[in-house]
Structure 1
Amino acid sequence: MADQILHSRADGTISKYYSHVKQFKEFCSKHGFQAYPAFPIHVAMYLSELIDLHKSDTVVSAAFYAIRWLHEINDLTDPTKNAIVIRMLECAKRTNSKPVQKKDVLLPEHLVKLCDLFSTTKDIIVLRDLTMILLCFAAFFRYNEVSDLRCCDVKFFADYIEVFVKKSKTDVYREGKYVVIAKGVTSACPVSMLQRYMNCAGLCSNSDMYLFRPACRSGSRCFLLKKDKKLSYSRARECIVSKLKLVAPDMNLGTHSLRASGASAVANAEGVSERCLKRHGRWKSDLAKDSYIKDSIQKRLSVSKTLML
């Protein structure tokens, strides 16, 4: 039953909580305090120390919720509900928070220009990187969603593809989601690029291997490694950003730029309902969706234009 209780949260969350609980226990051991059940004043002192060390508000928040989790799963009195502890968390948010620097938004024209540069290439590494870029842009994928894709998760139809996302950040119960992407008419068509990549790499649509794997270059030859291992985030980010910098050298870009860019491009266009936009991006609330979208200057000006002044 204890193991089942631990599985009430995602593995990544549990791993993060374990780390923060370990640090809190070390703090308590150093000062001769009892770690659990912990006294509220000791928790407040620990958060105060983190603030004095200029830890970011996200670190302080993670420690706060890790201590809460530790007491909840052991059915102990929760010290984080104490008013002083809560005030220390609020203090961290006010004094140690850093302004969010969101990535710049790409336009579809950027991707068309990028794909035009490699319109005749058969280099598997280039095609792999371009395919990831286009899928993230067209399907609003996070990197972990596209990196987890296997060949059998993609189904080709006459004028679109259907991609099965087995798990995502918003899919907490791992029910899976189907995302459809229409076939385009430019060199940046994600369906055509995916077909080019799979054909050149020798990937079968019924294979259970990862779609995007590490590749090796030997002289003029380039091929995917046979080991069923997905591409690491650090390597993927390096490849994706280097390609995007070819057409947008002055922009602040990252892997998450593509999800925000695709969503912004659709939101600023006409004719797509909010419901379909939310479903395509797998957002559960308007608040989550709106945080990704950057309104165009034309959309923003339309507010004051309606005043007819």
Structure 2
Amino acid sequence: MSRFLMCSRSDGTTKSYMHSFNRWRKFILQHGHSDIPAQPVHIALYITHLLDNGASYSSVNSAIYSIKWMHEISGHVDPTENSFVKSLQESSKRLTGKPVKRKDPVDSETLQTLCETYKDSTDLLVLRNLTMILIGFAGFLRYDELSSLKCKDVTIESDYLKITIQRSKTDQLREGSEVLISKGFSCACPYSMFLRFLSQAKIDLSSDHFIFKPIFRSSGIAKLIYKNKKLSYTAARQNIVSMLKKVAPHLNIGLHSLRSGGATAAANLGVNERCLQRHGRWKSISSKNIYVKDSIKYRLQVSQKLGL
């Protein structure tokens, strides 16, 4: 039963909560008191301790929610409902909250310029990075979804790619979902780039290996490692961001710029919202709006319609 109770949250959330709760446990045990069940006044003092040491609003939130969760699955009364705890949580938001600076979305023109730069390249490292960029952009993929793709998850049709997302952040029931990526007509066509990468890497789509694996060089030739290991976030960020910065040095770019860029481009071109929501695997239309940056043309339409 304990194992099932721990699965009430996603793996990432559980890991984060356990880390925060262990920090609370270490603190309160050093002061000779109980971590479970905890006294509300002790939690309030712990939050005060975090704020005194410069903790962020996110850290305070994580501490409170981890304590709340552990008490709930242990069958104890939730001590975080105390008014002191709630007031301190609000205080942390006001005192330490900072405006979110989201990454800039990349656009189709930037990707076409990038692919034109490397149009004659046969280097496997370059082809892998370009393929990840184009698939991530066209499929609105989060990095975890992109890096977790296995060979058997991709089906090549005559004019499109069918990608099966086995698990994602919004798919807690592990039902899976499909993303269709159409064959394009420019040098930045994700369909053509994917085929180039498959050919150069000699990948068998029937295998259970990850598609985007780390690369090593032997006698000057780049090859995918033999071990079935997906590319790490750090390595991907270093490779992909540095490549994009060559053609867009003025943008604040991250790996999320691909998902945001694809969604922004599609929205500004008037793609049906229902299809947009399904393609991006968002639970609601409002969730999609976080990723879309409206163009000046669309924003000006508001005042243009006023008839002034």
1:230 aligned onto 2:230 = yes
Q: Distance in 2 between matches of 1:175 and 1:19?
A: 28
Q: Distance in 1 between matches of 2:154 and 2:79?
A: 48
- Give the match for residue 158 of structure 2: 158
- Give the match for residue 69 of structure 1: 69
Q: Distance in 2 between matches of 1:16 and 1:292?
A: 24
- Give the match for residue 275 of structure 2: 276
- Give the match for residue 2 of structure 1: 2
Q: Secondary structure at the match of 2:206?
A: coil
Q: Distance in 2 between matches of 1:111 and 1:64?
A: 43
Q: Secondary structure at the match of 2:282?
A: coil
After TM superposition, give the deviation of residue 202 of structure 1 in Å. Answer: 0.2
After TM superposition, give the deviation of residue 297 of structure 1 in Å. Answer: 0.5
After TM superposition, give the deviation of residue 286 of structure 1 in Å. Answer: 2.2
Q: What CA deviation, in whole Å up to 9, does each residue of 1:233-273 have, x standing for no partner?
A: 10000000011011101211010011111100111112x21
Letter in 2 for 1:131: T
Deviates more, 1:294-303 or 1:13-22: 13-22
Contact 1:56 1:98 in 2 (8 A): no
Letter in 2 for 1:2: S
Q: Distance in 2 between matches of 1:71 and 1:34?
A: 12
1:215 aligned onto 2:215 = yes
- Give the match for residue 81 of structure 2: 81
Contact 1:140 1:258 in 2 (8 A): yes
After TM superposition, give the deviation of residue 107 of structure 1 in Å. Answer: 1.3
Q: Distance in 2 between matches of 1:92 and 1:286?
A: 30
Contact 1:160 1:181 in 2 (8 A): yes
- Give the match for residue 19 of structure 2: 19
Q: What CA deviation, in whole Å up to 9, does each residue of 1:27-49 have, x standing for no partner?
A: 11122222111111111111111
Runs of 4+ in 1 over 4 A off after TM superposition: none
Q: Distance in 1 between matches of 2:179 and 2:252?
A: 28
Letter in 1 for 2:282: W
Q: Secondary structure at the match of 1:129?
A: helix
Contact 1:133 1:240 in 2 (8 A): yes
Q: Distance in 1 between matches of 2:260 and 2:145?
A: 15
1:185 aligned onto 2:185 = yes
Contact 1:21 1:63 in 2 (8 A): yes
Q: Secondary structure at the match of 1:178?
A: strand
1:302 aligned onto 2:305 = no
Q: Distance in 2 between matches of 1:226 and 1:35?
A: 46
TM-score by length of structure 1 reads 0.98
Structure 1 portions without partners, runs of 5+: none
Q: Distance in 2 between matches of 1:44 and 1:176?
A: 41
1:289 aligned onto 2:298 = no
Q: Secondary structure at the match of 1:253?
A: coil
- Give the match for residue 105 of structure 1: 105
After TM superposition, give the deviation of residue 275 of structure 1 in Å. Answer: 0.6
After TM superposition, give the deviation of residue 287 of structure 1 in Å. Answer: 2.3
Q: Distance in 2 between matches of 1:129 and 1:267?
A: 25
Letter in 2 for 1:279: R
1:95 aligned onto 2:95 = yes
Q: Distance in 1 between matches of 2:87 and 2:307?
A: 47
After TM superposition, give the deviation of residue 52 of structure 1 in Å. Answer: 1.4
Q: Give the total of aligned pairs.
A: 308
Q: Secondary structure at the match of 1:207?
A: coil
Letter in 1 for 2:57: D
Deviates more, 1:125-134 or 1:78-87: 78-87
Contact 1:134 1:190 in 2 (8 A): yes
Q: Distance in 1 between matches of 2:211 and 2:148?
A: 8
Q: Distance in 2 between matches of 1:205 and 1:252?
A: 35
Q: Distance in 2 between matches of 1:183 and 1:255?
A: 23
Q: Distance in 2 between matches of 1:222 and 1:35?
A: 52
Q: Distance in 2 between matches of 1:107 and 1:24?
A: 44
- Give the match for residue 245 of structure 2: 245
Q: What CA deviation, in whole Å up to 9, does each residue of 1:46-90 have, x standing for no partner?
A: 111111111111111000100001100101010011121111111
